[in-house]
């Protein structure tokens, strides 16, 4: 393999990596490559992604960090546009975020009150 073909493979790999890793458009990848002095068309980037993309995306998924043995939940209140929202995060022992959920605080409060009211009604119904 010559140095020219090795550099071409690096360029193709970098273009495919940019497209899949950062969810860019073909034209965005084209512009980024032009800034590095590599002139290709967006159509060429599209063809590279069609040809090599599935294999590369598969490799990216397998490189994701695995979750640890222990994890904990974080809960935080955030004001967004004047309304309070609750954000829950599941974090493992290495600090990797496993999952995030969010909801408006008033919706959460209504849901908690409704479920606690139904539980108290159910518990009164079964008392002797």
Rounded Cα gap, residues 51 and 11, in angstroms: 14
CA 5 – CA 106 distance, rounded (Å): 60
Q: How far apart are CA 90 and CA 83, in angstroms?
A: 23
Query: Each residue's pLDDT tens digit in the chain (128 positions)?
Result: 455 578 888 999 899 989 988 888 999 999 999 999 999 999 999 999 999 888 877 776 777 666 667 777 888 888 888 888 888 888 888 777 777 777 776 765 555 555 555 554 554 444 44
pLDDT of residue 117: 53
**Do residues 8 and 48 make contact, with C-beta atoms less than 8 angstroms apart?**
no
On the 0-12 / 13-18 / 19+ scale of CB atoms within 10 A, 90 is middle
pTM over 0.95: no
């Amino acid at each position: 393999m010559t140095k020219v073909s090795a550099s071409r493979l690096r360029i193709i790999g970098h273009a495919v990596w940019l497209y899949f890793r950062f969810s860019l458009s073909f034209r965005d990848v084209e512009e980024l490559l032009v800034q590095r002095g590599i002139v290709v068309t967006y159509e060429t980037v599209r063809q590279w992604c069609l040809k090599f993309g599935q294999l590369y995306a598969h490799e990216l998924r397998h490189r994701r960090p695995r979750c640890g043995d222990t994890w904990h939940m974080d809960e935080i209140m955030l004001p967004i546009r004047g309304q309070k929202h609750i954000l829950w995060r599941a974090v493992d022992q290495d600090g990797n975020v496993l999952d995030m959920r969010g909801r408006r605080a008033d919706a959460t409060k209504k849901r908690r009150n409704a479920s606690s009211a139904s539980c108290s009604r159910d518990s009164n119904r079964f008392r002797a």
